[in-house]
């Protein structure tokens, strides 16, 4: 059985998808982009500010579902420019500083709303 997870503390889905879905003790968090959920706008700044907002959005969804960053087992990071990898990685490391999850990072041609980073994750209890 699946449970749809939704919180006003993360950006609303901008398409036909859920912020997250929980099934059998596993939480699948949709790709998050750096939208401030209060203003519904992309955060100002560069890759560091955008990565921080993305991970805060993920944290809000995890919390709503009763999980936290320590439950994350896999992340996929999408970057519009792989030259931003080191700066993204530095911020990412602050959120996953102990027993980090498995991860893949890809350079892509374009992301929604012209953002620099999108991250999705899977968490398990």
Residue 103 lies in domain: 2-124
Cα(111)–Cα(114) distance, integer angstroms? 5
Q: What is the pLDDT of residue 6?
A: 96
Residue pLDDT, tens place only, 33-43: 999 999 999 99
Q: Return the number of other C-beta atoms located less than 10 Å from residue 50's C-beta.
A: 26
Which strand (E) or helix (H) includes residue 4? strand 2-5
Q: Which two tokens stand for residue 120?
A: 């999705």
CATH number at residue 14: 3.30.1330.40
Number of domains the chain is built from: 1
Cα(110)–Cα(101) distance, integer angstroms? 25
Q: Return the number of other C-beta atoms located less than 10 Å from residue 122's C-beta.
A: 17
Look up the pTM and report it: 0.96
Q: What is the pLDDT of residue 67?
A: 98
**CA distance between the termini of the chain:** 16
Count helices and strands in the chain by DSSP H and E runs: 2, 8
Residue pLDDT, tens place only, 39-56: 999 999 999 999 999 999
């Amino acid at each position: 059985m699946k449970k749809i997870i939704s919180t006003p503390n993360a950006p609303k889905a901008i398409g036909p998808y859920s912020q997250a879905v929980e099934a059998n003790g596993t939480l699948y968090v949709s790709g998050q982009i750096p939208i401030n959920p209060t203003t519904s706008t992309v955060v100002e700044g560069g890759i560091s500010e955008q990565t921080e907002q993305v991970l805060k959005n993920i944290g809000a969804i995890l919390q709503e579902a009763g999980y936290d960053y320590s439950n994350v087992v896999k992340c996929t990071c999408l970057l519009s420019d792989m030259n931003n990898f080191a700066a993204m990685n530095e911020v990412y490391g602050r959120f996953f500083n102990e027993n980090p999850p498995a991860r893949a990072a890809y350079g892509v041609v374009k992301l929604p709303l012209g953002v620099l980073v999108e991250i999705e994750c899977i968490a398990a209890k």
